[in-house]
Amino acid sequence: MTTVIPLVQASLGERELAAVAEVFAAGRSAGRPARELEAELTDRFDAADAVVVSDGAGALRLAMLGLGVEQGDEVIVADYGSPVPAHAVRHAGAVPVLADVRADTGTVDPWAVADLIGPRTVGVIAVDTVGLPADYTELRWLTDRHGLFLVEDAICAAGASYKGRRAGALAPVACLSPPGHQGAVRGEGAALLTRDPVFGATARTRSSAVLGGAVDEGPAGLAAAPECVDVARDHRPSDVAAAILRVQLARTEELLRRRRAVAARYAGLLADEELLSLPHVPQNRCHAWQSYVVTLDPGVDRAAVAAELRARGIGCGHGAWATHLLPAYEAAKHACPVSADLFRHNLALPMHAELTPGQVERVADALRTALRTRRPAPMVRTG
């Protein structure tokens, strides 16, 4: 029986299990793991505040609310990556304006952003696509010049950096998740990071329908009386999820080293393959390798390659999505041809910290075989 090599896999071990056991032993801890994680995030990213929430969608939604986005506003969003940032803009009642991306990195193109700025534009959400930070120097210049906010979606980029600065600290407001692919087995979870303490306090109030102080025990063992200052939704994580996230945050460098080793091995094995292009990482940044995405030659049948890999027990995927091609966004004002092209030809290979060198070699060999069988037919001259 062929051993399956999954596309993604959580990196969980004894430290995570011990953290969960501690939560169970403590009984009702009134959100203590989340508060401890917030303190560690604030220190690590030199932020004024960090608000831990259940998922990245919640972090982005709180960011939009905190920035005052409302009906009639337009927010420019990177088209390639995930539709979640566009969803967050819509949930605030505003219009997401989808910007095309760079062909080499898949990150939002600052020139495309500049062309889309109009009288109703209030801000920009930049996405660190599959773990690679966007061009923040250019984006900061644009947003400062036009008086717009800039939000960094670093949900996939823990451990990445841009010009020596950590992903999650590249914009005044950022959304971040500790390393490892998100999923219920890992506990899920994300954080909203801000340089404004008032912004953080307001986001914390909006993140819980119960209100943070309502479950904290005071000196006399009484629960503090809640003060409801805004309509809130439950975005706070469970104690179990927060405990796992604390351990994962502490393991960021360890897990990144292992993922970098996988990426380097893929690059060495596939460097001379003519029917694909390897991921491009500019010299001024460090990739978090949330995914390892190659771009196939336009003549290759990607669906057939993927089917062959899966038949061999190897997971694979699209890599990321072109939001404007999704039914919910088909009425978007602007086409994004580069994003659409990447969506058609990109292929995500297994990438996680648990991959062994032998498994990476098996993936590369299977991919080479699939590409040879799906090689474009040579042009035949007639006449």
Report pLDDT digits (tens) over 175-225: 998 765 444 344 568 899 999 999 999 988 888 755 544 444 445 555 555
**More confident position, 294 or 16:** 294
Which pLDDT score, from 0 to 100, does residue 99 have?
97
| Mean pLDDT score across all residues of the chain | 88
- pLDDT surpassing 90 at residue 120: yes
Which pLDDT score, from 0 to 100, does residue 10 have?
87
Nearby residues of 215 by Cβ (< 8 Å), 6 or more positions away: 30, 31, 223
Of the pLDDT bands very low, low, confident and very high (cuts 50, 70, 90), residue 126 is very high
Q: What is the mean pLDDT of residues 219-241?
A: 61
Nearby residues of 149 by Cβ (< 8 Å), 6 or more positions away: 67, 122, 123, 124, 143, 172, 173
Residue type, 31: G
Domains annotated for the chain, with CATH where assigned, are 14-251 (3.40.640.10), 253-373 (3.90.1150.10)
Which pLDDT score, from 0 to 100, does residue 331 have?
72
Which pLDDT score, from 0 to 100, does residue 186 have?
46
The first and second tokens of residue 235, run together, are 């975005």
Choice among 68-82, 117-131, 231-245 with the minimum mean pLDDT: 231-245
Distances from the Cα of 299 to the Cα of 33, 294, 366, angstroms: 51, 14, 19
pLDDT tens string 158-179: 999 999 999 999 999 999 987 6
**CA pair distance 181, 188, nearest whole angstrom:** 9
Of the pLDDT bands very low, low, confident and very high (cuts 50, 70, 90), residue 267 is very high
- pLDDT surpassing 60 at residue 100: yes
Whats the size of the chain, residue-wise?
A: 383
Which pLDDT score, from 0 to 100, does residue 225 have?
52
Whose tokens are 């057939």? That residue is 304
Burial label, 219 (beta-carbon count in 10 A; 0-12, 13-18, 19+): exposed
Choice among 100-109, 212-221, 265-274, 312-321 with the minimum mean pLDDT: 212-221
Helix or strand run (H / E) with residue 255: helix 252-270
Minimal CA–CA distance to 354: which of 7, 3, 2?
7
Which pLDDT score, from 0 to 100, does residue 41 have?
93
Which pLDDT score, from 0 to 100, does residue 215 have?
45
Minimal CA–CA distance to 246: which of 8, 31, 62?
31
Which pLDDT score, from 0 to 100, does residue 119 have?
97
Minimal CA–CA distance to 160: which of 140, 179, 146?
179
Of the pLDDT bands very low, low, confident and very high (cuts 50, 70, 90), residue 259 is very high
